[in-house]
Amino acid sequence: MFSITKLRTTSYHAMANVMVERMRRTTKQALMCQNNICWTDTLPVVLFGMRTVLKEGIQASCSEMVYGTPSLRIAGQFFDPSLKSIPESTFLEHLRSTMEKLTPVPASSHSN
């Protein structure tokens, strides 16, 4: 009369989705390693790290797959690699000369 067909499906079981379970486990382990009581403060940093790490199977990171280029840079990539092995005195001279070139920016007031 109503042409209703009953479909039988299994109940949802999170362990059945291996990739989701693996990501959940990795995220949980990374959060537990941070020794931070408030995990919501640590979550963005953990996710950023997970998105920038190179995946062996695909030879790319998640951010490379989304944006097409390795556009997300982690803190260590902002430093000049040639400055890693210079003597401390040379580094200090370079730092001082760089700091002397900086000019102050005048403060602005946005109040009425």
22 in any annotated domain: yes
Number of domains into which the chain is organized:
1
Query: From CA 56, how far away is CA 7, in angstroms rounded?
Result: 40
Domain of 16 in residue numbering reads as: 12-73
Residue 59 falls inside a structural domain: yes
pTM of the predicted model, to two decimals? 0.48
pLDDT tens figures, 34-80: 777 788 888 888 888 888 888 888 888 888 888 787 666 666 665 66
112 falls within a domain: no
Whether 78 is covered by a domain: the verdict is no
CA 51, CA 49: separation in Å to the nearest integer?
5
Which pLDDT band, with edges at 50, 70 and 90, does 96 fall under?
very high
Tokens of 67: 């944006």
Which two structure tokens, joined as six digits, stand for 26? 């990795």
- What's the pLDDT at 83? 57
Instruction: Please name which of 76, 22, 78 lies closest in space to residue 50, comparing C-alpha atoms.
Output: 22
How many angstroms separate the CA atoms of 12 and 17, rounded? 10
Chain-centroid distance of CA 17 in Å reads 24
